[in-house]
Chains A and B, each alone.
Chain A
């Protein structure tokens, strides 16, 4: 196709490249436009409309309702707001626990497995990575079994004398349960009396429900392997010189890791945290397969709520609005993180820290 174009122009070896360039990229551009850009624009329109799922969202019977769908979610005072608040609460706890734990665990695994002298490195890497290749549906089915009332996990807990909960049917918040141990069962009026997004501050502070905790463990189990690979790759690209220099200066193993290796892993850390955050705000498959939001709506997540609102309740505008709010949340978190972890010039105060470290380490 491009050969005639090239010969007709005869403008040297680069002739006809423009045409082939567009031709080569066209399929991907068309696909991305059709199934990414146009859909997003369509959904944006739906989120500002009262479309009820019948006919085309662009037909004359569908009208523009401004921010109605959005305000019903963030200030409507009704069930929509309450559900949205609950979903955000649930997912926020999920993110707060999953992201740091999976990052630390995957880094820990990578450091363990990265040693050159370790026997069976391949075996251990495979073992830790394998859960990452299985589908979330298959893992959820397995998890429902392992964490059932008389399942393997509770049998295991019984060995150490712990009476395990009925995991996926227990809506009680973990933090509330913890406070309950100390006899605190109701919060102060300041917390129970005031609400945000339709649920009280006391409820916001309930922690993830027991059911959600099982999902949190599952997320850590399935993602730590992927991120471990990223950390291994980064560790292998570090030059040994700096660590050796630190060794010469007498830094012990912990200091070498904390002050030398970890700062060099900053870009990978950023990648892992960002991917983790983006992933953790999108929990859907597990909820759809497993609990469908229950028990007591404590595993409801914005992604699942968005699907439910649109496809089950035919509240398409609201479903689309939830999706866009979720989009904004993810973008804001990612930007915030980028800001926090951005490479900055080392301040004088921190510089002092670096300069003094070897001496401090040596004197120990």
Chain B
């Protein structure tokens, strides 16, 4: 550590070196500072991670053990009762299936429609393009919670209440995603398409086989955001459905939390349900981790 500091000092301009002459204690101070930095980071990391470790540990405890030793990371007696109950003796598999169905369709739909619209707004010249873009920005600023009642009204009016259609189609609206795709398509040089056009490819052909494959980074961003968004969505499903067969994980686990299915606290059961629910997004996160960190870096760089 101290060597890096040394070289940095040496490489600095003469005036800077003069100033640092008075601070011969710099290496020791730097070491102290670095130790403090790591100490702070480690404590913070523990605070951020510990709740999840406690969650997983508790899901393998017995009810009594969970109540008596809420902090223990190793169960007194290992028990998979919570998981057995969830998978063999509850609607949990149905919830999981519904969440999976909705998430897959919403993600596919968003990827397709966002990139289509994003491409048109970035590349195709047509009258009204600016108006559409302005509307898109305006629409993006409507807060989601305000739409709870409105969405129910339209779904009801359309006669699709309590169907998969009502769960999936409204979630396909994604102004922010269009925006991301538009920005990305603008960064691709126009000459790429012109070649294909001269060769006689139609607009859709150019879009589908030339430009879209180049947009993989942006598409991955859309996939991550849509997957996470629709998997974690709760309020839309509350207002769009009511029947038990259409309950998603979020809705089901929320009803668990407020005491249905269980007598007493049954924390292992609830925490197991919440943990399983987290697994798909966690897996998604770890697969695309580099990309998540990098795309956000790049998104602002632009």
**B99 nearest in chain A by CB position:** A135
Chain B contacts of A43 at CB under 8 A? 149-150, 153
Q: Are B142 and A327 in contact (CB under 8 A)?
A: yes
- Closest-CB distance, A327 to chain B (whole angstroms): 5
Q: Are A39 and B153 in contact (CB under 8 A)?
A: yes
Bound-complex Cα distance A1 to B152 (A): 36
Q: How many residues of B contact A (CB 8 A)?
A: 105
Q: Are B274 and A234 in contact (CB under 8 A)?
A: no
- Closest-CB distance, B166 to chain A (whole angstroms): 10
Given the known interface contacts A36-B139, A134-B278, A148-B265, the answer about A24 and B153 at a Cβ–Cβ threshold of 8 Å is no
Bound-complex Cα distance A303 to B282 (A): 28
Interface positions, chain B 254-302, Cβ under 8 Å from A, are: 254, 256-258, 265, 267, 270-271, 273-275, 277-278, 281-282, 284-285, 289, 292-293, 296-301
Q: Are B55 and A306 in contact (CB under 8 A)?
A: no
- Closest-CB distance, B75 to chain A (whole angstroms): 14
**B133 nearest in chain A by CB position:** A25
Task: Choose one: A25, A38, A40; the contact of B120 (CB below 8 Å).
Answer: A25
Q: Per-residue CB proximity of B1-17 to A under 8 Å, as 1/0?
A: 10010000000010110
**A126 nearest in chain B by CB position:** B289
**A274 nearest in chain B by CB position:** B141
**A329 nearest in chain B by CB position:** B143
Counting chain A CB atoms within 10 Å of each CB, which of B4, B205, B234 scores highest? B234
Given the known interface contacts A31-B169, A112-B40, A133-B282, the answer about A22 and B128 at a Cβ–Cβ threshold of 8 Å is yes
Given the known interface contacts A152-B71, A285-B234, the answer about A135 and B170 at a Cβ–Cβ threshold of 8 Å is no
**A18 nearest in chain B by CB position:** B126
Chain B contacts of A150 at CB under 8 A? 67, 70
**B281 nearest in chain A by CB position:** A133
Given the known interface contacts A36-B139, A125-B293, A290-B257, the answer about A136 and B300 at a Cβ–Cβ threshold of 8 Å is no
In the complex, A284 has a CB within 8 A of chain B? yes
Counting chain B CB atoms within 10 Å of each CB, which of A38, A43, A230 scores highest? A43
Q: Per-residue CB proximity of B97-124 to A under 8 Å, as 1/0?
A: 0000000000000000110110111001
Chain B contacts of A307 at CB under 8 A? 148-149, 235, 238-239
**A138 nearest in chain B by CB position:** B274
A73-81, A171-179, A203-211, A315-323 - interface stretch:
A315-323
24 CB < 8 A contacts A-B: A1-B204, A17-B124, A18-B127, A24-B124, A28-B175, A32-B135, A34-B154, A36-B147, A115-B37, A124-B44, A124-B45, A125-B293, A129-B292, A131-B48, A133-B284, A133-B285, A136-B232, A145-B270, A221-B51, A233-B298, A237-B300, A285-B234, A307-B235, A307-B238
Residues of A participating in the B interface, judged by any CB pair closer than 8 Å:
1-3, 6, 13-14, 16-25, 27-29, 31-32, 34-40, 42-43, 46, 56-57, 109, 112-113, 115, 117-118, 122-131, 133-142, 144-146, 148, 150-152, 155-156, 221, 225, 229-230, 232-234, 236-237, 247-248, 250, 268, 278, 281-282, 284-285, 288-290, 292, 303, 306-307, 310-311, 316, 319-320, 323-324, 326-327, 330-331, 334
Residues of B participating in the A interface, judged by any CB pair closer than 8 Å:
1, 4, 13, 15-16, 19, 37, 40-41, 44-45, 48-49, 51-52, 54-55, 58, 66-67, 70-71, 113-114, 116-117, 119-121, 124-129, 132, 135-136, 139, 141-154, 157, 169-170, 172-175, 178, 194, 197-198, 202-205, 207, 228, 231-232, 234-235, 238-239, 249-250, 253-254, 256-258, 265, 267, 270-271, 273-275, 277-278, 281-282, 284-285, 289, 292-293, 296-301
Which 10 residue pairs spanning A and B have beta carbons closest together?
A39-B150, A21-B126, A3-B202, A24-B120, A135-B232, A43-B150, A138-B274, A18-B126, A21-B124, A20-B203
